[in-house]
Amino acid sequence: AQKVTQAQTEISVVEKEDVTLDCVYETRDTTYYLFWYKQPPSGELVFLIRRNSFDEQNEISGRYSWNFQKSTSSFNFTITASQVVDSAVYFCALSVRNSGGYQKVTFGTGTKLQVIP
């Protein structure tokens, strides 16, 4: 069975601070994909990034960076120099191929980030 744990329920930081959102996953599959989504107060879920299990290179996109470590089954997300607009709930998700041959996605419970001006 697949599992995604986002142990941080809520985080508050002051604007311009760096913040890291943790994501730990469990799966027995050797091929899998990891995702991060952002849900701002307006409610929509916005796709941020997708990584596959064979690519452990870290990725940076502007102020966002992702650290994928298979050894610890973690896919952490860091926001550098946080801004008020980063305030949102962030979801980590794990996707595998199920026994029926199609995609099965497991979402974490989300981390609510509040950036204080």
Residues of this chain that bind other proteins (CB under 8 A): 31-33, 35, 37, 42-47, 50, 52, 91, 95-97, 100, 102-105, 107, 109-110
Q: Which 3-state string (H, E, C) describes 40-99?
A: CCCCCCEEEEEEECCCCCCEEECCEEEEEEHHHCEEEEEECCCCHHHCEEEEEEEEEECC
Residue closer to other proteins, measured from CB, 79 or 96: 96
Shortest distance (Å) from residue 38 CB to other proteins:
11
Residue closer to other proteins, measured from CB, 37 or 87: 37
Residue closer to other proteins, measured from CB, 17 or 52: 52
CA-to-CA distance for 110 and 92, rounded, in angstroms? 7
